[in-house]
């Protein structure tokens, strides 16, 4: 073996050792960071019914897509429809572009273009619109600190901060409330 063959062999071994060392010492992404945003499952075109402690319907959720985040077991929902029952079993409908639901379902945060409609055929039909709404199924409560516009036949109200009891359909504005009444004769 001549000196050139020995040099080539030594360089080849050095290159392999350097490559192996670089591979083992590379910066590896942490498993927690990779799993934090990763969904452990995705549901498509589903309906989910949550029950209260007595086994009665607390809230129903329908949506085209829901992702469960593996790290904290919360849910991200695309274009959800929440059906919230009142004491007679009629459902208030609440829609939004997106929603986040807590791991145990105790809170749902609806975001972007939230629209709520009173149960059909129960009392005076009303619709409210806001940018964000928090639903607390166990407390039969929905609330926001954002601006809300509520419309009913012949009346429009708006204010900042809003709360509605899903069982009684009673609502209240918290501040900066203004109302506009339009009699039927003017319509």
41, β-bridge pairs: 68
First CA to last CA across the chain, in angstroms? 105
Residue appearing with tokens 């498993």: 31
Helices and strands: H and E segment counts in the chain? 2, 11
Give residue 104's pLDDT.
84
Q: Which CATH architecture has domain 32-186?
A: Sandwich (2.60)
Give residue 132's pLDDT.
92
91, β-bridge pairs: 85
Torsion 41-75-117-87 (CA) sign: positive
Q: pTM surpassing 0.95?
A: no
Give residue 29's pLDDT.
60
Mean pLDDT by 10 residues, the chain (187 residues): 76 81 74 59 87 83 88 88 84 90 87 88 83 87 89 87 82 84 68
């Amino acid at each position: 073996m001549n000196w050139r063959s020995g040099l080539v062999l030594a360089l080849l071994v050095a290159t392999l050792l350097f490559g192996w060392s670089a591979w083992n010492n590379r910066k590896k992404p942490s498993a927690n960071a990779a799993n934090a945003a990763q969904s452990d499952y995705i549901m498509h075109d589903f309906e989910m019914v949550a029950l209260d402690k007595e086994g009665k319907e607390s809230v129903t959720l329908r949506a085209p897509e829901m992702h469960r985040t593996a790290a904290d077991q919360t849910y991200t929902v695309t274009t959800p429809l929440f059906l919230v029952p009142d004491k007679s079993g009629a459902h208030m409908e609440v829609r939004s572009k997106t929603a986040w639901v807590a791991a145990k379902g105790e809170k749902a945060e609806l975001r972007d273009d939230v629209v709520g409609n009173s149960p059909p055929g129960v009392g005076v039909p009303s619709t409210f619109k806001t940018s964000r709404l928090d639903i607390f199924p166990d407390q039969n409560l929905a609330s926001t600190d954002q601006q809300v516009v509520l419309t009913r036949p012949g009346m429009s109200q708006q204010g900042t901060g809003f709360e509605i009891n899903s069982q009684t359909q009673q609502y209240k504005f918290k501040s900066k409330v203004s109302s506009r009444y339009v009699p039927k004769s003017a319509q």
